[in-house]
Amino acid sequence: MAFEALDELLDESLHLPIAGRVYRVPAPSAEVGLRTQAIVHAAAVAADGGRADEQILADAAERDLYADVLGSAHAEMVADGVPWPALKHSAITTMVWISQDKAAAERYWNSGGDPSRMAPNRQARRNPPSAAASSTRSRGSTSGTSTRPVAPAPARGSQKRQR
């Protein structure tokens, strides 16, 4: 079996619908992809209270990252007068695609960027898709602790010793 041509296996673009038009965002170059992943990682570290690589974040501020990740779609969006929130949402969606995958980018796009709309709702978490899965008993703890209540010991002196 031989390797198939990679460009035939991968869909190397995003198609983002905005105001009745679909913009095709091409796959980024390796340089843009690697830089985007580094920036997303550094931002996540900083958001979690860690110390992010300041050089990476400074480089992001110096360059037009949105134009880089959107590629040719950026110029088309600007020429068409796409509003800033839509362009920003498109760029961040593309960054999610670059740093994660197309499914994550689609979830982000469809949530409108609202994290609470991306998480499954409470009802979905409580009722899994399979009824069999919800009726399966979970394994007991192997931590060595017991959750079974222990009967209280009789009080001293309340019972007479039998001979």
Q: Where are the extended beta strands (E) located within the chain?
A: 13-18, 21-26
Ranges of each domain in the chain: 29-114
pLDDT at 2: 79
Mean pLDDT on 60-82: 89
Residue 96, classified by CB atoms within 10 Å of its CB into exposed (0-12), middle (13-18) or buried (19+), is buried
Q: Is the pTM value of this prediction over 0.75?
A: no
Query: Mind spelling out the 3-state secondary structure of 83-115?
Result: CHHHHHHHHHHHHHHHHCCHHHHHHHHHHCCCH
3-state secondary structure of 125: helix
Which range has the worst mean pLDDT, 11-20, 104-113, 127-136, 150-159?
Answer: 127-136
